[in-house]
Amino acid sequence: MPFSATPRDPLQHHLDLVITLLEKHKVVEALVHKQESPRQVLVEQLVHRQNLNELRHHLDRLHPADVAHILEALPLHDRLIVWDLVKSEQDGEILLEVSDAVRETLLADMAPQEMVAAAEELDAEEIAELAHDLPAEVVSAIVTRLDERERAQLQAALTFEDDQVGAVMDFDAVRIRSDVRLEVVLRYLRRFDKLPHQTDKLFVVDDDGRLLGALPLENLLLGDADEEVSAVMARELVAFQPEDDAADAAQAFERYDLVSAPVVNGDGLLLGRLTVNTMIDRVRQESEAETFNLAGLNEGEDLFGPVWRSARNRWPWLALNIITAFVASRVIDAFEGSIVQLVALAALMPIVSGIGGNAGTQTATLVIRGLALGQIASARVGALVFKELGIALINGLLWGSMLGLVAYGLYQHVGLGLVMAGAMTLNLLLAASVGLAVPLVMDKLGRDPAYGSSVMLTAVTDAMGFFIFLGLATLFLF
């Protein structure tokens, strides 16, 4: 068959093969270290070299994205062995494909001149993507090797934030004029060796470079060669400005099924274009950031990173967690007297706080997703508040009563049962309020609504859950 049968299997297959070859290599390496007889060492070094050659040969045939995938899936030591074997022309592409955390480990293994060489294979906007991870002297060495046009492009790309359209656009737009016939366009295209990747339309500009419309390749193929571009070009098209939010652009690509789209400045001047492959990466990154932020992980966490470094990576969140847990602990301490009088309170209190935390997380997750998709208009926050508080009230009364009955059954204490039911209802209402408020406020402040939501949420539902339950108990039972 002329094509690969399935996408995942070959990838897993490559990964397994690399791991097997690495294992072989390590067995030999261990023997060499044992310092056996010189002759034996010689033989084994040959085997060793043969293994590495086989591995190198295998890596040479892989797509840079596949090599990147393999590097992501390997622990640091193995990762660097593989990285050293990769052909240097591929270095740049691979550095673009790997995650930030893995990129850092790879760059730490490279000499400055290797980095400069890797950048030489890349376009200006790709260099811009790597630039903030490279040492300053490497960046300036790269800049001196660029021609004037590329240097201006790099400069332009670097002025935008990572999450702006200007930072993810490329400069490969094919430009044509509106007053020529399709035949001329076809002849013009034949002068290209290849078109920029994911070209589905050509951009029609006036003499000043202002965007007038776009000519889809489809119209070029299906149209009459004698027609003028202006007669068959699309005039209504989705265009972006470099200051636009890249996540919004990704959503527009999704909604309108775009493959490429022009980027223009305020004067309508065509600056570059966005392509769907960049946008699909953006959707993936966005979702990863959301999940990681919710769990209190740094986005840059490396699956197989060094232990000490990863441990430190988690300190800020852990510290915040410990502080909030400590506050909750102080709340309990304040009710020491009540607990000594009725020790059942100690056993029941984590039920109230735990369920509040979970219910609040559900609300916060819904709100975060709604915000990310732009589905929460400020005019409709009221409806959302009403719904989430309604759910909390229903579930609080219903499940709270049930738990109240169970508490009564266990401890034969009517008051305790009533306090349990009341505390559950109040804490669920509180959890829903906090689950709504935290992401909405973070969003209003211009922060990522997922960032730290769950830690703040648990802080409130724990401390307040204990306070409500023990407070009600102290008020009504003693």
Q: Which of residues 342-371 bind a second copy (CB under 8 A)?
A: 343-344, 346-348, 350-351, 353-355, 358-359, 361-362, 364-366, 368-370
Amino acid at 417: G
116-145: contacts with a second copy (CB under 8 A): none
Which of 46, 195, 231, 475 binds a second copy (CB under 8 A)? It is: 195
d(CA 434, CA 425): 14
Contact set for a second copy, span 211-240 (CB under 8 A) = 211-213, 217-218, 220-222, 235-240
In angstroms, the CA 348 to CA 436 distance is: 26
Please answer whether residues 217 and 165 qualify as being in contact, where contact means their C-beta atoms are separated by less than 8 angstroms: no
- Nearest CA among 303, 168, 178 for reference residue 244: 168
User: What kind and span of H or E run contains 262?
Assistant: strand 260-264
CA 152 to chain centre: 29
Query: Which residue matches tokens 């919004």?
Result: 248
Q: Which is nearer to a second copy, 379 or 445 (CB)?
A: 379
Report the distance separating Cα 471 and Cα 337, nearest Å: 12
- Asked if 326 interacts with a second copy (CB under 8 A), we say yes
Indicate whether 61 belongs to the interface with a second copy (CB under 8 A). no
The piece of 27-35, 129-137, 139-147, 253-261 that touches a second copy (CB under 8 A) is: 253-261
- From 81-89, 122-130, 139-147, 309-317, span contacting a second copy (CB under 8 A): 309-317
Smallest distance from a second copy to CB 297, Å: 5
**Stretch of 45-53, 88-96, 146-154, 402-410 lying at the interface with a second copy (CB under 8 A):** 402-410
CB-based contacts of 189: which residues, under 8 Å, 6+ apart?
174, 195
Least Å from the CB of residue 38 to a second copy: 33
Question: Near a second copy by CB under 8 A, which window of 27-35, 125-133, 175-183, 398-406?
Answer: 398-406
User: In the complex, what is the shortest distance from the CB of residue 404 to a second copy, in angstroms, rounded to a whole number?
Assistant: 12
Contact set for a second copy, span 69-88 (CB under 8 A): 69, 72-75
Find out whether 191 and 272 touch, Cβ atoms under 8 Å. no
Number of residues that bind a second copy (CB under 8 A): 148
We find the least distance from the C-beta atom of residue 192 to a second copy, in angstroms, to be: 6
Cα 60 to Cα 210: distance, rounded to the nearest angstrom: 43
3-state secondary structure of 164: strand
53 binds a second copy (CB under 8 A): no
